[in-house]
Amino acid sequence: MRTVLIISGGNEAVPGIRRAKDMGLHVVVSDMNPKAPGFAIADDKIIASTYDVEATLSAAKDYHKKVRPIDGVICIASDVPLTVASVAAELGLPGIPVEAARLASDKILMKNRFQEKGIAIPWFSEVFSYKHLKEIVSQRGFPLVIKPVDSRGARGVLRLTASIDLQWAYHHALSESPSKRVMVEEYLDGQQISTEAIIQRGVGVTPGFTERNYEYLDRFEPFIIENGGHQPTSLPMHVQESVSELAIEAGRALGVETGIIKGDMVYTDAGPKVIEVATRLSGGWFSTDQIPLATGVDLIGAAIRIALGEYVPLDEVRPKHWRGVAIRYFFPEPGRITAIKNTEKFNDVSWVHKLIFFVKPGDIVEEVTNHTKRAGCVITTGETRDEAIARAEEVIRTVHIETIPSRH
């Protein structure tokens, strides 16, 4: 029995852990939280922060030598490609180069590499002070986007317009950066898209292609909050192909010849551009649930096989069909939750794939400033894209997360 180490044990990783078990693998899960949900179904566990490369590396080496050899390492719905790549390199396992993971973990290094390789990206600049930000704004004008160089979950990401206090915006973005570095980039008008591709021996296939929903830009400004996404896309095939190929080219530019590339893309009047890419499987139940529902592709199974050093025939990861799938999020009023009502209306509804809450009665709902502040989500299916969207919106309208003002 081969052994796979999954560096992430959170709720979103659970479907992937189950898939690994179904494949007959011995599954070791690594997570800092002793009560991580993934531990309940894993064969073995390692307690270590997924973001702490050295701690995870030390624990993995110890397990590999003293308990049983590890044959592959992967993360699922966790932004820790550098940890994964470092463990793979140290144990001599299949994986992307450590340098590729390092580039993907630092947005300035990533954008510099894209610029060197001729990858289409928005204009960008590192920002070294509030004064520097003011100079950039005076030269470039509005709108711009300011963000931490090394954060996740939309923390510290702001859309800069003439009404924004630049000094506050700079310090807010800075506060969300572990390395205290921020950057600005051109704000791109156009359809935002998430892609998920498998690259093997330099050749890529994109089973994941979803239109991202940003209908609440005005409601939550200056914070840039996504309200889900939907498949299949309404974009013409030649546009889909150009977006997908650019994301794959971006992955290769980082040095990924075999692995997963998750693309954050925008299709503009000038063609597709890369906001950033991640060298890992996505979260938000995109890789684990939404892509299989929409396309029939076992993306997680394929990614695990690649992590074990197998070659997966490309036909296995090409979409077999396109069915309607939508995800939408709950945004209750800030305050203390008193009740979550009407969920029972969807208990046995076949087209509700998942109805999930990240909060419970008694919890405090805070102002929405990043994606971790969303209160829950629903994933729906339909014969068409529009039907899936309509169903998701019906659930959001019907289910009520009631709150009362709170002083805390």
* Cβ contact 75:303 at 8 Å: no
Neighbours of 37 (CB within 10 A): 17
What pLDDT is stored for residue 134 in this prediction? Answer: 98
What pLDDT is stored for residue 408 in this prediction? Answer: 56
Q: Give the global pTM.
A: 0.95
What pLDDT is stored for residue 84 in this prediction? Answer: 98
Query: What pLDDT digit, counting tens, does each position of 135-155 carry?
Result: 999 999 999 999 999 998 999
- Spans in the chain with pLDDT lower than 50: none
What pLDDT is stored for residue 136 in this prediction? Answer: 98
